[in-house]
Structure 1
Amino acid sequence: MPNTKDYEKGYKKYESKAKEYMDDKEKAVNLLNSAKKKANEKKRKLGEVWEKLQLLFEIFNAWKKGEYKEIPTGSIIMIIATIIYFVSPIDFIPDFIVGLGLIDDAAVIGFTIKQISRDLEKYKYWKLTNDY
């Protein structure tokens, strides 16, 4: 079973791909739509991680639309990389392995949430105070 360092190492390859989505709105929309579809199909299996993933989708969408600009570039890259990892069927534990396929996705989502928790709190406050 992969450990945290394995996840961080694997995540890094998705980080470079994430930069491609920064300036390509169509590509970003397609990624977000694919991720939302997969998340909705796997909602029950994702458990509490599903809600955290929805927050990542929400902040990415608000940033992409230009509604929310207060997130640091490194944090938005981390969010995009996490979404790419989530959508990818081939990662540390391939998604087709019944019962285990989403464990690594959940670990990467949790890692990202932990790393950018301060930025997520700022977004939640912004959302509350801006009627979004």
Structure 2
Amino acid sequence: MKKPAGFDRYLNLAERFLARGRVPALLFAVARKSSRLKLVKSDLKLLQELALATVRGQYRELNPKALLAVVAALLYFLSPVDVIPDWIPGFGLLDDLAVLAWVVRHWQSELDAFKAWRDRQSVDVRQSLNLLPAPGESSAS
């Protein structure tokens, strides 16, 4: 499967988000938008948990390129103006879904490793991954 058109722009943006510690704000915004979408909710939740556990330093086995791709996909999902603008009824989210599917498929082994790690954690750790930080909260915990 080929990398989605326009995705490189979001990889560059993801680098800046990671460098500036802006991932918590991103995760909060994604959670607000994804609450309306049942179709991809589980994939988005997994990507959010992975990003959160990684930026908090709880999960350390993630390939840095995978984290960059996950953050870029979340940024793409949030962007209302991408390859197909989100405001176009019936079609606006198709490119967002394609990008999310590409990231999930391309980084499946990393996601599977994270799920195995997450499932071995205590109930407290698993619950903490469902509690998104406030947008102004620092990435490190």
Partner of 2:25: 30
Counterpart residue identity of residue 54, structure 1: K
Tell me by how many angstroms 1:107 deviates.
0.4
Superposition deviation, residue 22 in structure 1: 1.7
Aligned residues: 123
Which residue matches 1:129? 120
Bigger proportion of residues as helix: 1
- 2:43 alignment partner in structure 1: 52
Cα offset, 1:53, TM superposition: 1.2
| Deviation for aligned residue 1:43 | 1.7
State the SS of the aligned residue for 1:68. coil
Say whether 1:80 aligns with 2:74.
no
CA contact (8 A) 2:11 2:72 kept: yes
CA distances 1:51-95 after superposition (whole Å, capped 9, x unpaired): 111100110011111111110100000000000000000011111
In 2, Cα distance between equivalents of 1:23 and 1:16: 11
Counterpart of 2:8? Answer: 12
State the superposition RMSD in angstroms.
1.4
Bigger relative contact order (CA 8 A; separation at least 6): 2
